[in-house]
Chains A and B, each alone.
Chain A
Amino acid sequence: MLRCKQVSKALAEHNYQDLPLHRRVAMYIHIYLCPLCGAYQRRVVTLQNGVRRYLLHEREAPPPKDMRLSEERRKALKQKLHDSSAP
């Protein structure tokens, strides 16, 4: 049986989904049974899953309006690229 500290360390060093199946099974059992750390570790795994899903979203979905370059900076960048790439 895994100990809380081993689970905690493993989740600080790895993403749960990247662990080999036998380690995931052992951790799953611990996380779902342990009254001391189970709820916390389940939250860690949920946040890790959230990050994984977010990275897929970040790769494909256009940024929301409040996470875009300011107009001022956009113009300045265009000018800089124009000047720097001119022959």
Chain B
Amino acid sequence: MTTAPDVNPETWVEEHGDYLYRYAYVRVGDRAKAEDLVQETFLAALKALGRYDGRSKVRYWLLGILKHKVVDHYRKSSRETSMEEWSSRDMEDSLMFKVFGLPEDRANSWQFNPRRAFEQSEFWGVFSECLSKLKGPMQQAFTLRELEGFSTEQICKELEITANNLWVMLHRARGQLKECLDTNWIKRNQGK
């Protein structure tokens, strides 16, 4: 038999607020929206407190609620945005994409040393900032696929797009992420 865990919601902001905020900010790229999502999470958690069984840590339970809030936000904003427009028909119609599944623009060499970067804590600050700066639907597609591990079918359903749209958005998101890392990490660390 599990006993109701001893949870004090009044400590949540100090103990978990910043963790939840970072999670939301990295995935929505907007400070005010991220703060709203954290607030919605806390309020939803308060209502559901009776169902919390203490099997996972409070923070992970709250993060689970926040994850649903982020997906709800994506679903709503995908209805308000023309995903077709963002998915770039140019790329979808290009020979390179049709035959090889590749973007035309894929500069060959990349002066990035992951082994060195991954060992430095400052790198993760830059990396998270770059994730937060991905644009609109590219951010949604990339987050659901790479950060949350959703399947292609789930993402297409949530964002109301085709598998090819998703494929193109992922190519574009990777391009944006690379560009951001080039500017904010690689160039800054050159010669060090």
Contacts and interface: CB of A to CB of B under 8 A. Distances in A.
A78 interface: yes
A1 interface: no
Interface string A14-48: 01000000000000000000001101100110111
Given A5-B99, A37-B102, A43 B174 contact: yes
B112 A46 contact: yes
DSSP majority for the A interface?
helix
Given A12-B166, A80-B42, A57 B124 contact: yes
A23 to B, nearest CB: 16
A81 B100 contact: no
Contacts of B109: 39
Instruction: Place the interface of chain A in its size category.
Output: 35 or more
Contacts of B14: 78
A26 B147 CA distance: 25
A57 B120 CA distance: 11
Interface string B101-143: 1110010111010100110010011011101000000000000
